[in-house]
């Protein structure tokens, strides 16, 4: 497999997981908005930690995708 094909596959895989993380993040934020009043303090705090962790993960994946795109540009 050529370097170009390998990088394209890696980008596709990372984009898939980034999409999963974005949907999960949006869903968790939606839950926080709708159930924020009735949720226990522990559940609310864990959900906020989850949103922060997912958002940081999305940013990290975005950076990895950008690096691979830059590597493709230098081939």
The domain spans of the chain are: 3-74
CA–CA separation, 2 vs 37, rounded Å? 54
pLDDT band at 1; cut points 50, 70, 90: confident
For the chain, what is the radius of gyration of the CA atoms? 17
How large is the average pLDDT for residues 63-70? 97
Res 47: pLDDT: 95
Question: Which pLDDT does position 11 carry in this prediction?
Answer: 97
Predicted local confidence at residue 29, as pLDDT: 96
């Amino acid at each position: 497999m050529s370097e170009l094909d390998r990088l394209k596959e890696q980008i596709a895989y990372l984009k898939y997981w980034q999409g999963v993380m974005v949907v999960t993040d949006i869903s968790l934020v939606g839950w926080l908005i709708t159930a924020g009043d009735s949720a226990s303090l522990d559940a609310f705090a864990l959900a906020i930690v989850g949103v922060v962790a997912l958002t940081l993960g999305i940013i990290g994946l975005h950076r990895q995708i950008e690096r691979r795109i830059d590597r493709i540009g230098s081939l």
